[in-house]
Amino acid sequence: MTNKKADYFLLFSNCVVVRGAKRSTIYDLQFERYKNIPNLLADVLGHSVDLPIKSIKLIYNDEYSAGIDSYLNLLAEERFGTFYHSIVNFIKLPLDWKYPGELTNCVIEVEGKPKFDLRKVFKELDDLNCHSVQFWFLKKVKSVDIESLLEPLSNSRIRNVELVIPYNNYFSRQFIESFSEKHPRVRRIVFTECYKKLVKFDIVQVIIESTKMETIELTRKFNNSPSAFRVSLGMFTESQEHNTFFNKKISIDRNGLIKNFPTMTKSFGHINEISFSDAINNSEFKKFWSLKKDNIVGCKNCEFRFMCSGQFAHPSANISELIECQYDPLQLKWN
Ligand code: SF4
């Protein structure tokens, strides 16, 4: 039952409603979880910032009063909000996003021995305050080759490394455990072409995909699925004004060409001939950084748009029209 003595209900300030075409979602930016809700409840929560529950019910001529009570009780039980006697002095969560550096993440395609100097790459990333690197191994590799790629990282400030790598039989439980102890910067390993079940590991997150290591398929699958959704204050605030896939990202493709993303055709020069700084100072390079989901035709009505970094690395200039996503926010269905 609704708390009889309390006149108001408010979501906690870390819980924010994002409206979609057919339903809405509450993003809990502190506890990094989400809950889908009907749009009618989103409207009720919108009114709740300045109206008592009684007045909100009257807006609907008391038609939904029992439903409103039961939903508000549920949200209180699940710790998304609570009942109050008064709602003066509540402040909204500031949604500014700032990052003290030029880049946040770098994707490096690896096919055989890299055709560029990785020490130079990591040094430049350090200088630009980039904290994350993702290696995509296009072919199966020996463990010694992974080690030699990671070795130059030992003196860098890069703190987050992800490996996307075709599964090989030597990736036993013991191997992964000792590898992740030795390389604590490696926070996530995605095994592709893997049909085995692997146990959970304490230090590193391991994800298994049966997908073949074909770049386009990979990007679509990894970025546009609920398992890739990330509810966080950083992601939410960044996505208000930026495209969280492209923003502050740089890539080096298998041939050493600097791009926004390896699958894109536009290159900004070879890493042996041009610095990252010069590449990102090219105005074309930042073209998609501000392409927020609210401006992408297929995404602007999606309730997941501030937790999804689904990407659109399509060579077409009409990028805001293109969407390579299996989710249909109008049907609420994954195709
Ligand atoms: S429609 Fe857009 S925002 Fe929604 S899940 Fe797909 S890519 Fe992400």
d(CA 12, CA 270): 49
Closest by CA to 189, choosing from 129, 177, 10, is 177
Q: What is the pLDDT of residue 7?
A: 93
Predicted structure pTM score: 0.85
d(CA 69, CA 3): 9
Ligand 1 contacts CB of residue 231 (under 6 A)? no
Ligand 1 contacts CB of residue 325 (under 6 A)? yes
Q: Read off the tokens for 127.
A: 């200088």
Contacts of residue 193, Cβ cutoff 8 Å, sequence gap at least 6: 166, 167, 209, 210, 211, 212, 213
Residue 237 parent element (H or E): helix 233-241
Ligand 1 atom at shortest distance from the alpha carbon of 312: 7
Q: Read off the tokens for 132.
A: 């994350």
Residue with tokens 């298994």: 208
Count other C-beta atoms under 10 Å from residue 328's C-beta: 14
Q: What is the pLDDT of residue 192?
A: 87
How many angstroms separate the alpha carbon of residue 300 from the centre of ligand 1? Answer: 8
Give the pLDDT of the chain (335 residues) as one tens digit per residue. 555 568 999 999 999 999 999 999 999 999 999 999 999 999 999 999 999 999 999 999 999 999 999 999 999 999 999 999 988 878 888 889 999 999 999 999 999 888 889 999 999 999 999 999 999 999 999 999 999 999 988 888 899 999 999 988 898 888 999 999 999 999 999 888 888 777 777 778 888 877 777 655 555 555 567 777 899 999 999 999 999 989 999 999 999 999 998 888 899 999 999 999 999 999 899 988 998 999 888 889 999 999 998 765 454 545 555 556 788 899 999 88
Sheet arrangement for strand 258-259: 205-208, 186-192, 160-166, 132-137, 105-110, 249-252, 258-259
Which of 227, 231, 327 is the best mutation target for the ligand 1 pocket, counting ligand atoms within 8 Å of the beta carbon and taking the most? Answer: 327
Q: What is the pLDDT of residue 315?
A: 47
Question: With left for phi above 0 and alpha for psi between -120 and 50, is residue 17 left, alpha or beta?
Answer: beta
Closest by CA to 243, choosing from 306, 322, 324, 161, is 306
Residue of the CA atom closest to atom 2 of ligand 1? 299
Q: Which residue segments constitute the domains of the chain, with CATH numbers given?
A: 8-84 (3.90.930), 105-334 (no CATH)
Ligand 1 contacts CB of residue 304 (under 6 A)? yes
Ligand 1 contacts CB of residue 20 (under 6 A)? no
Ligand 1 atom at shortest distance from the alpha carbon of 298: 1
How many angstroms separate the alpha carbon of residue 319 from the centre of ligand 1? Answer: 14
Q: Please provide the DSSP assignment of 113-128 as one string.
A: S-SS-HHHHHHHHHHT
Q: What 3 state SS string does 193-223 have?
A: CCCCCCCCCCCCEEEECCCCCCHHHHHHHHH
Q: Calculate the CA dihedral of residues 254, 258, 261, 266 and round it to 10 degrees.
A: -110
Ligand 1 contacts CB of residue 110 (under 6 A)? no
Q: How far is CA 126 from CA 33, 97, 103, 157, 277, in A?
A: 32, 21, 9, 6, 12
